[in-house]
Amino acid sequence: MVSTETWAAIQLTAELAGLSTLLLLLIGTPIAWRLARTGSAWKPLWASLIAMPMVLPPTVLGFYLLLLMGPHGPVGQFTQWLGIGRLPFTFGGLVVASVLYSMPFVVQPLQQAFEAIPESLLEAAATLRASPWDRFTSVALPLARPGFVTASVLGFAHTVGEFGVVLMIGGNIPGETRVLSVALYDHVEAAEFAEAHRLAAGMVVFALVVLVTLYVVNRPVRNDEARSAR
């Protein structure tokens, strides 16, 4: 049987991943659109900054976030001035860290989807007097739907699997910041291998389902399948 603390960790992880994915889509969509459309010489730099969490050790990002959000950091002083207290070792701090750490897994699929849209379609919409907003919502968004599916699934799954960043920022407070990856670590440290096996196996199955879903959704449609669907 799964313990009450483990169920609490599962629920907290799902809430964290769901909220982080929603924020990532809201923040990442305009960033991806801008990166896809710009021809600026600064584009490689901005794209590299977005992709930094993919190559940085999670503890490095967690360390600097602790400095920024701590009592003497600019973010920490600002949140205290707002009256919401400090973000480290809170659910809000986990959300901020998760959004930053999973940003490239959402922005890059969206950017690739936007870059794949033929320029001629956007130009045709412009000749019909469609505003930039209309061209984005009526042409770009529907055509980039596979990219949104990929970004959503990857963003959610990556947040579920986070460990270093969430441990640095959230610590290990049951019911508040103790997510699945931290709970698994605790079980291993306590030599509770049966519970650790259950959590680890569940996460392996989850990862497999995520990958199969992506491959099925993004599977190219063959000509014979397209003809039979007509």
Q: Is 64 part of any domain?
A: no
Q: Is 16 part of any domain?
A: yes
93 to 12, 17, 87, 126, 196: CA distances (angstroms): 13, 13, 4, 42, 26
User: How many structural domains does the chain have?
Assistant: 1
CATH number of 200's domain: 1.10.3720.10
Q: Is 71 part of any domain?
A: no
Q: Residue 230: what pLDDT?
A: 47
Q: Is 10 part of any domain?
A: yes
pLDDT per residue as tens, the chain (230 positions): 667 888 888 899 999 999 999 999 999 999 999 999 988 888 899 999 999 999 988 889 999 999 999 888 899 898 888 888 888 899 999 999 999 999 999 999 999 999 999 888 888 888 888 888 998 989 999 999 989 999 999 999 999 988 889 889 988 888 888 998 998 888 898 888 888 888 899 889 988 988 888 888 777 655 554 455 44
Q: Is 204 part of any domain?
A: yes
Q: Is 70 part of any domain?
A: no
CB burial of residue 34 (10 Å; 0-12, 13-18, 19+): middle
Q: Is 24 part of any domain?
A: yes
Going by C-alpha positions, the residue among 142, 202, 143, 189 that lies closest to residue 9 is 202
Those residues whose C-beta lies under 8 Å from the C-beta of residue 91, and which sit 6 or more positions away, are 12, 15, 16, 170, 176, 177
Q: Is 78 part of any domain?
A: no
Rounded Cα distance between 192 and 203, Å, is 17
Q: Give me the domain span that covers residue 149.
A: 4-55+94-218
Q: How many CA atoms lie within 13 A of 50 on its CB side?
A: 24
Element (H, E) at 29: helix 4-37
Rounded Cα distance between 171 and 80, Å, is 20
pTM for this predicted structure: 0.86
